Chains A and B, each alone.
Chain A
Amino acid sequence: MNPTDTTNRPGVSIAGVGTQATGAPKSDAADPVMELSGVSVYYGAYEAVRDTSMPIQEKQITAMIGPSGCGKSTILRSLNRMNDLIPGARVSGAVTYHGQDLYAKDVDPIEVRRRIGMVFQKPNPFPKSIYDNVAYGPRVTGMKVSSMDDLVEKALRDAALWDEVKDKLKTSGLALSGGQQQRLCIARTIAVRPEIILMDEPCSALDPIATAKIEDLMSELSNDYTIVIVTHNMQQAARVSHYTAFFTAEVDEQQERHGRLVEFSQTGKLFTNPADKRTEDYITGRFG
């Protein structure tokens, strides 16, 4: 991965993208790095999300929005097999990553998560030093590292945290503010050089200033990484993402709620000219 390589993203300036609405894909040539086809996720016998099909485009930010209980976080967790950790969770359909089915029998979930990292809703730094938080991933995955110090510095710089913590790398990650903790979690994730970063409502526990910093960071990171973000905040999706998937919860004949993908398109189109009435109702605030 070459961070300076922008040739396949015409019309995008790396610096200063900031929180300006992107809304349009950075590249015309759609190049899905992941593909969901007919994905349903079950918790035991309960079908939490039904029949989801959508692509995840390379080095783009894909947002998943929708009301509570619509299954967007469930779908996100199925992308790097974090659902495996929930007893009774099961996925049907196909989640492919570079054409390979992630749920095939011989796929090692450890390897999947090493390539597809995750940032969680509540900042969850390890109760270790800032340095050890970042170095943990490279250490456990046995990355060949010439200088761990350089790797830690690079990851913290890429997460826009270096200047704030460079003099206190040995202090506990838990001593940082909420926004700093979340950027530490992002630094920790990119330290293992994943290809895709999944973010599950990464700003919902943060104040507006910390949120703006994370959003800037996401735009910055999308030059090198494919990002999928779940958010409750429609403005956030409109500000940072290139593609948006709108999910909603449907109630079936047995009065059970199932999450369902309603619409997937380029963010600009979804917010200005939604194809589905339910999407329009949601984004205009008539529902949810």
Chain B
Amino acid sequence: MSTPPTTTTETRPDSSASGNALTQRRSRPGEVAFRLAMQACLLIAFGVLAALLTWVLVKGWNRLDSRLWTEMPTGLVSRLDGAGVQSALVGTLWIISLVALICLPIGILSAIYLEEYADNTRWYNRLLELNIQNLAGVPSIIFGILGLGIIARALGLGFTVITAAIVLSLLVLPVVIIATREAIRAVPQSIRHASYALGATKWQTVSRQVLPSAVPGIATGSILALSRAIGEAAPLIVLGAVTFITFNPDGLDSGYTALPIQIYTFITRSQSEYTELAAGAIVLLLAIVLAMNSIAIFVRNRFEKRW
């Protein structure tokens, strides 16, 4: 049986039989269904977030004034009207500044070493890499318990601001390292080669070409890591963040509380006044986190290099 040579033309879109086939728009149900499914998913994610935001704004509306950051928390319902979360806010600012000081230099230098200096063919460097990935997945309460055993007790630093800062630094360190490595890796190899070909040393190449080009990515990743540290409550629960303290931390060895902890203890109280104050504190915490994320986005858009 021989196939006539005309079969090839018959499989083409039919342009002669039904006039001009180009103008007949066909509906494609699969395309439409998939698009609707994706939009529905987006709507669910966004809807939940919007509902949460609305809830805290409505609940905390009466508390959204300067009392929130000028007054101290209290355990007495009768004095709640004049209460705020100043000590928790100051505690959070103390901790996050210290986390930045501790974890950014360590994280960025580690990432530079792993990306630019470490020989990937060596087993110990590969082991390091693997462990950093794993560390990023360790639940934060584990870091809290580690901090309790080693830093608070064995090193004798106690339930202090510095203990909390060290533990949170360890917690977000893998995030900073991974983000920095991504940023460094995004710098094209051709830039390094150009620098070497001019007789630049390794450190000159890294410090004058690679790092300046990677700064936007490093800054973005670092800020996102810090905003994660701000919201962490679990490790601080075991690290003695005191729930009602009426003084601001005044040093590294000071007792402290932090916003997530304060919110948690307010919520556990049954009186509705506490719930309102908690909602106010949530708005404050969200505002800080959103502000930091906006800075991250601004930095990325403003300084991002296009190759």
A and B part of one assembly? yes
In the bound complex, residues from chain B placing their C-beta under 8 Å from that of A23 are none
Q: Which of A110, A125, A126 contacts B199 (CB 8 A)?
A: A110
Number of interface residues of A (CB under 8 A): 27
B208: A residues at CB distance < 8 A: 136, 140
Contact partner of B198 among A87, A88, A127, A192, CB < 8 A? A192
Complex Cα spacing A140 to B199, Å: 7
Choose from A80, A87, A111, A120 the contact partner of B194 (Cβ within 8 Å). Answer: A120
Residue pairs across A and B with Cβ atoms less than 8 A apart, 11 shown, are A110-B199, A118-B193, A120-B190, A122-B190, A124-B191, A126-B209, A127-B191, A127-B305, A136-B198, A137-B200, A141-B200
Complex formed: what's the CA distance from A140 to B198 in Å? 8
B121 part of interface (Cβ distance < 8 Å): yes
Residues of B within 8 Å of A185, CB to CB, are 194
- Cα distance A174–B213 in the bound complex, in angstroms: 13
Q: How far is the CB of A147 from chain B (nearest CB, A)?
A: 20
How many angstroms from the CA of A80 to the CA of B192 in the assembled complex?
Answer: 15
Which residue of chain A lies nearest to B209 when distances are taken between CB atoms in the complex?
A126
Give the interface size class of chain B: 20 to 34
Q: Is the CB of A137 within 8 A of B193?
A: no
A117-B198, A140-B201, A140-B208 known; 11 other A-B pairs, CB under 8 Å?
A80-B197, A82-B197, A115-B199, A124-B191, A124-B194, A127-B191, A137-B199, A137-B200, A140-B195, A188-B198, A192-B198
CB distance from A201 to the nearest CB of B (A): 13
Instruction: Determine the distance from Cα of A127 to Cα of B119 in the docked complex, in whole angstroms.
Output: 27
A109 CB, min distance to chain B CBs, angstroms: 8
Closest residue on chain B to residue A137 by CB atoms: B198
Considering the complex, give the chain B residue whose CB is closest to the CB of A88.
B121
Residue of B188, B198, B209, B212 contacting most chain A CB atoms (<10 Å)? B198
Interface on chain B toward A: helix, strand, loop, or mixed SS? helix
Quick one: CB contact mask for B181-214 with A, threshold 8 Å, 1 for yes?
0000000101111111111110010001100110
Binding site for B on A (CB under 8 A): 80, 82, 85, 87-88, 110-111, 113-115, 117-118, 120, 122, 124-127, 136-137, 140-141, 174, 185, 188-189, 192
**B131 close to A (CB within 8 Å):** no
Q: Are A124 and B188 within 8 A (Cβ)?
A: yes
Question: A residues within 8 A CB of B197?
Answer: 80, 82, 113, 117-118, 120, 189
Q: Is the CB of A120 within 8 A of B198?
A: no
Roughly how many angstroms separate A155 CA and B31 CA in the complex, as a whole number?
Answer: 58
Contacts of A114 in B (CB 8 A): 198-199
Q: Shortest CB–CB separation between residue A284 and chain B, in angstroms?
A: 35
A85 to B196, alpha carbons, bound, how many Å?
9
